[in-house]
Amino acid sequence: STVSWSSVSHFLLSVTSPPLVAQFSSFFFFLMIRRPPRSTLSSSSAASDVYKRQLLIRSGVAFKWCRTCHIYRPPRTKHCPVCDNCVDRFDHHCPWVGTCIGRRNYRYFFGFICVTLINSIFVLVTSIVLLLETDGFNHQWPWIMSATISALAVPLVGSLVLYHIYLVATNKTTNEDLNKVYEKEENPFTMGCYEDGCLLLCSRQRSSRLVPSSAPIQSW
């Protein structure tokens, strides 16, 4: 017997979308919102820390002094006034997830928006198919609502995904791109699309800079 589009769509919607996509979304969301522990110098040295040099140069790398966190900020690090924390490779503060996007959670943010885009496309296509297969407004209105919401989400999330694909390919952050940091000079961090993608999304995650450690400061 021929399997109708309605049966296939019902099967995909009930079996694939909720458990799989929801689990992936929850996984990326949980990893993304994990904040690195705030770490400053001890309170006894805080008073003298305010008067430290504004710029420290080690091995040709400049580290700026943060008067709030009382640490020397590595390159591409910025203090977020909302989180009240210095964020390594600061990309942006995302109000939708309530935390900053930086070096240690950028890959999870990227995965989260990609999964959200896939889910929106899936819901849109499935809703349209079910809408065409269903008769009567009483049975069609759920598919009309889901199709409308996903139709609005696809271009919005899709444009965000495309923008961050561009940022990954050029090894830029949102903060650097909006402020046109590399408009007049070449980006010293870019190594090519493939290398940048592997570094940002697939490389081994290093330990946080913001925890007390006896390890030497890494320049990159």
Phi, psi of 58 (to 5 degrees): -130, 125
Query: pLDDT by residue (tens digit) across 70-106?
Result: 888 888 889 988 888 888 889 999 888 888 999 888 9
pLDDT-derived band at 157, boundaries 50, 70, 90: very high
pLDDT-derived band at 23, boundaries 50, 70, 90: low
Q: Is the pLDDT of residue 122 over 80?
A: yes
Query: pLDDT by residue (tens digit) across 26-46?
Result: 655 665 555 443 433 333 344
Residue 150, exposed/middle/buried by CB under 10 A (0-12, 13-18, 19+)?
Answer: buried
Closest CA to 192 of 182, 200, 183, 180: 200
Residue 171 near residue 187, CB atoms below 8 Å: yes
* Average pLDDT score over residue span 102-129: 91
* Average pLDDT score over residue span 148-175: 94
- Alpha carbons within 13 angstroms on the beta-carbon side of residue 112 total 17
Q: Is 94 a catalytic residue?
A: yes
Residue 100 near residue 115, CB atoms below 8 Å: no
Q: Is the pLDDT of residue 139 over 90?
A: no
Query: pLDDT by residue (tens digit) across 61-74?
Result: 778 888 888 888 88
- Of 80, 83, 94, 114, the catalytic one is 94
Q: Convert the chain into a string of H (helix), E (strand) and C (coil).
A: CCCCHHHHHHHHHHHHHHHHHHHHHHHHHHHHCCCCCCCCCCHHHHHHHCCCCCEEEECCEEEEEECCCCEEECCCCEEECCCCEEECCCCEEECCCCEEECCCCHHHHHHHHHHHHHHHHHHHHHHHHHHHHCCCHHHHHHHHHHHHHHHHHHHHHHHHHHHHHHHHHHCCCHHHHHCCCCCCCCCCCCCCHHHHHHHHHHCCCCCCCCCCCCCCCCCC
**In the chain, pLDDT over 70 holds for what percent of residues?**
68
* Average pLDDT score over residue span 162-167: 95
